[in-house]
């Protein structure tokens, strides 16, 4: 199918593919941690179309929305490839639920973090074991910290390179690409979910609200991260004050 991209989008795609090819060439094992959000759809398309040597994995925490699993299946069908799926350790999960209860993450930040640790971080550690670089869908406009980042940076926390092929993409670029390529995406995005995690810990947000406001909404804004990426501070909005006469 012939598709036409705007000059801006074509340039972004060119640069992102170049990054993926360079990383695949220069590093040993490169993996992409696919969150099945909208940036992931773009990266899946770029990797499986242009640099399929990069391994893609995702984590099924056991509490995902059915719409997220449907997206995984649609992506696999479209590209005729399998995404590696990591799950929480079964024994640890049984123990946590027995000791705390199935939905104990609502009770305290500590229990919420221990659930994220067990369902997300531990499988993530297994997934990246032995990798030299991991790819993320981080974009510069998402937060103040992300605005400072480089496309390829040493990641102290995991002791491997972190690669951000979409760093310069704006949200509109992501959606333009998804629509131009007619890529499948999570149907929850059309129902007010800009950021999608586990079903019990994600809800829709109102128009104009912080896209992350629907994640762990019962906690205060500072604690709302699962720990895979450093905490995000929104980019401060600078309101220009009217100038006084004579200044
Ligand atoms: Fe557990 Fe919620 Fe974290 Fe998912 S997002 S791992 S259900 S606390």
DSSP β-ladder status, 133-135 and 152-155: unpaired
What is the number of the ligand 1 atom nearest to the C-alpha of 202? Answer: 5
Q: Is 149 in the pocket of ligand 1 (CB under 6 A)?
A: no
C-alpha to C-alpha distances, 181 to 44, 69, 164, 169, 176, nearest whole angstrom: 12, 21, 21, 16, 8
Q: Is residue 237 very low, low, confident or very high in pLDDT (cuts 50, 70, 90)?
A: very low
Query: How sure is the predictor about 239, in pLDDT bands with cuts at 50, 70 and 90?
Result: very low
- Concerning whether 226 is annotated as a catalytic residue, the answer is yes
pTM, two decimal places: 0.88
Q: Of all residues in the chain, what percent carry a pLDDT higher than 90?
A: 77
**Residue 11 pLDDT > 70, yes or no?**
yes
Q: Is the dihedral of CA 5, 10, 16, 21 positive or negative?
A: positive
Instruction: Using the predicted structure, report yes or no on whether residue 158 has a pLDDT greater than 70.
Output: yes
Cα separation, 147 vs 125, in Å, equals 26
Residue 116 CA, ligand 1 centroid: distance in Å: 5
What average pLDDT does range 57-76 have in this prediction? Answer: 98
pLDDT band at 230 (very low <50, low <70, confident <90, very high): low
**Tens-place pLDDT, residues 80-118:** 999 999 999 999 999 999 999 999 999 999 999 999 999
Class for domain 7-188, per CATH? alpha beta
What phi-psi label fits residue 62: left (phi over 0), alpha (psi between -120 and 50 degrees) or beta? left
- The DSSP result for 200-244, as a single string, is GGB----TTS-GGGGBSTTS-GGG---SSSPPPPPPPPPPPPPPP
| 204 in Cβ contact with 196 (< 8 Å) | no
Contacts of 88 (CB under 8 A, 6+ apart): 61, 62, 118, 119, 122, 123
Between CA 112 and CA 236 the distance in angstroms is 28
Q: Give the start-to-end residue ranges of the domains of the chain.
A: 7-188
Ligand 1, closest atom to CA 115?
Answer: 1
- Return the SS3 of 32: strand
**Residue 235: pLDDT above 50?**
no
Distance separating alpha carbons of residues 126 and 108, to the nearest angstrom = 27
pLDDT at 219: 87
């Amino acid at each position: 199918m012939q598709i036409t991209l705007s000059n801006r989008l074509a340039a972004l795609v060119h640069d992102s593919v170049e990054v993926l090819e360079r990383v695949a060439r220069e590093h040993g094992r490169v993996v992409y941690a696919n969150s099945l959000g909208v940036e992931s759809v773009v990266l899946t398309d770029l990797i499986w179309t242009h640099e399929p040597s990069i391994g893609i994995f995702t984590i099924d925490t056991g509490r995902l929305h059915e719409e997220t699993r449907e997206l995984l299946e649609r992506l696999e069908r479209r590209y005729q490839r399998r995404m590696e799926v990591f799950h929480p350790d079964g024994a640890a999960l049984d123990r946590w639920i027995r000791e705390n209860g199935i939905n104990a993450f609502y009770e305290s930040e500590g229990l919420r973090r221990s659930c994220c640790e067990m369902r997300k971080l531990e499988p993530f550690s297994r997934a990246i074991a032995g990798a030299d670089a991991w790819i993320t869908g981080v974009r510069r406009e998402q937060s103040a910290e992300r605005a400072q980042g480089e496309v390829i940076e040493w990641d102290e926390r995991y002791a491997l390179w972190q690669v951000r092929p979409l760093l310069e993409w704006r949200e509109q670029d992501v959606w333009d690409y998804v629509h131009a390529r007619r890529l499948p995406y999570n149907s929850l995005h059309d129902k007010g979910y800009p950021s999608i995690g586990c079903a019990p810990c994600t809800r829709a947000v109102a128009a104009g609200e912080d896209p992350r406001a629907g994640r762990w909404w019962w906690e205060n804004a500072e604690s709302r991260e699962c720990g895979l990426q450093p905490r995000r501070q929104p980019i401060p909005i600078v309101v220009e004050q009217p100038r006084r006469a004579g200044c």
